[in-house]
Amino acid sequence: MFALVLHSHLPWLANHGRWPVGEEWLYQSWAGSYLPLTTMLSTLADEGRTNLLSLGITPVLAAQLDDPHCLSGMHHWLGNWQLRAHEARDRGLARREHRAAAGSLETFEKHWRHGGSALFRSLIDARAIELLGGPLAHPFQPLMDPRLREFSLTEGLSDAEARWGTRPSGIWAPECAYAPGMEKGYAAAGVTHFMVDGPALRGDTTLARPVYDSDVLAFGRDLKVSYRVWSPKSGYPGHAAYRDFHTYDHATGLKHARVTGRAVASQDKAPYDPEAASAAIDKHVVDFVDSVRRRLREESSRIGRPALVVAAFDTELFGHWWFEGPIWLERVLRALPEAGIDVGTLADARSRGYVGAPVELERSSWGSGKDWRVWAGDAVQDLVALNEEVVDTALRTVDAGRGAASNGRPELRNPVNDQILRETLLAIASDWAFMVSKDSAAEYARRRAHIHAHALREIADAATRGHDVRAAELAAQWNRADGLFPALDARRLRRDRPQGGER
């Protein structure tokens, strides 16, 4: 059996800059990946195809796809794309981009006007996809205080249930990060399966594996198959015929060139040729299907029973980074069954018994080195220290406020405590350390972490000093600045140490 898993995630970007990092990142990914992906899945669902893939959507991305400000901004961005197409000097490029923008505008106005939740719910209800959830704000879970880790996960699963009418039983853990003992927290939250990278299972990803003595299964990404697509040296997106991500017309922002060659300078790249790109897509569909078939046969022979192959990618690869990706993906999902390959979701694999012997998982991630260096290495020690300070301040303040307010009476909801936890989770998002370690908009990432840390400190200081009115004013002001996760309720933060701590 073959299972495709996609992980959809962006940090909270609304009202935090526009270009080159900020809302533009959201709108580019929305137009390039989320619109064509959902259109493709809806088309296949209308044909009666089911269990196509497991789709992870993080709560922080889902919040943006439903947010009125982001929806308005996206509509404006699509209209601006159409206007930019009119300004292109190359008539072929202008016509091509105008058609693409017009089609995206029509799709957005017809299916996305009221947010993404209704659209994704229709795919879930049609059994086209398995929804994978995750914790609020995409934290690096192994480095979190266990209480906050549990709170973030359960709130994230509840957020998914509120949006889509179903509580996910599977998750894509942020960064595929794991520490021994986390399976206990997963079991307590109702999580039955999660993703890890292939090396976490010592490369043997042919079956899901129960973690330690729990019933929680770890599915591993098959690197041999996944790297056919996503390898910096030999992956499909680097083919000469595909549209080049880094080369664009500075007057319009439109991308007009093909990769041409890895060593070719931007100004020397050849014009994009859609027919040549389509031929390359067909070639790579055949190659991928052959690779999956070969891998399934090899692994089934090796283990003496039917094997599972899981290929996993960031959703944003398809369309945003690799322009032709959504077309390739649709053709692959059609070609695999035609080649006699059984396609299903992770939940399908679990229910159909693709399960092996228990495994004692060690610390891991899907980052560089497959360890935690990206999020806890020398380059980000300042953020590690900031996160520890922020979490300690938040938990001490919330705990003190809850103790003072209860006095044996039912605990009332406290917007100050809610906002303290909201800012804390935004401050410790895994994205900031990743961007610093990879030197990708590092200044923006550090600024974002410190903005939310400042908000937390400001609210907590007023609350600690007993300035209740001022604390409430600050909490309301900071909440208006971002306005996400309105259902977050600090009363659900456990007072005692939960299950799921380090072994």
* Active-site hit among 175, 316, 330, 348: 175
Of the candidates 448, 429, 428, 432, the one whose C-alpha atom is nearest the C-alpha of residue 440 is 432
Among residues of the chain, what percentage have pLDDT more than 70?
98
Convert the pLDDT of each residue in 147-182 to its tens digit: 999 999 999 999 999 999 999 999 999 999 999 999
Average pLDDT across the chain, whole number = 96
Q: Which two tokens stand for residue 190?
A: 């109702």
Of the candidates 152, 133, 169, the one whose C-alpha atom is nearest the C-alpha of residue 492 is 152
Looking only at the bridges linking them, the beta strands covering 53-57 and 129-133 are parallel
Q: Which two tokens stand for residue 30?
A: 């929305």
Q: State how far Cα 468 lies from the chain centre.
A: 37
What is d(CA 33, CA 308) in angstroms, rounded to the nearest whole number? Answer: 27
Of the candidates 489, 461, 323, 333, the one whose C-alpha atom is nearest the C-alpha of residue 397 is 461
The rounded radius of gyration (Å) of the Cα atoms in the chain is 23
Of the candidates 39, 120, 128, 34, the one whose C-alpha atom is nearest the C-alpha of residue 348 is 128
pLDDT at 234: 86
275 is annotated as an active-site residue: no
Contact predicate 93/9, CB 8 Å: no
Where does the pLDDT of residue 438 fall: very low under 50, low under 70, confident under 90, or very high at 90 and above?
very high
Where does the pLDDT of residue 403 fall: very low under 50, low under 70, confident under 90, or very high at 90 and above?
confident
Helix, strand and coil content of the chain, in percent to the nearest 5, comes to 55, 10, 35
3-state secondary structure of 269: coil
* Active-site hit among 314, 342, 371, 458: 314
Convert the pLDDT of each residue in 101-116 to its tens digit: 999 999 999 999 889 9
* Domains, the chain, with CATH or none: 2-369 (3.20.110.10), 373-492 (1.20.1430.10)
175 is annotated as an active-site residue: yes
Instruction: Give the number of other CB atoms < 10 A from CB of residue 265.
Output: 9
Contact predicate 55/6, CB 8 Å: yes
Q: Which amino acid appears at position 351 of this protein? A: S
What is d(CA 237, CA 226) in angstroms, rounded to the nearest whole number? Answer: 13
Q: Which two tokens stand for residue 28?
A: 């580019």
Convert the pLDDT of each residue in 335-356 to its tens digit: 999 999 999 999 999 999 999 9
What is d(CA 502, CA 326) in angstroms, rounded to the nearest whole number? Answer: 40
Q: What is the mean pLDDT of residues 174-199?
A: 98
**Residue 498: pLDDT above 60?**
no
Convert the pLDDT of each residue in 226-249 to its tens digit: 999 988 788 999 999 999 999 999
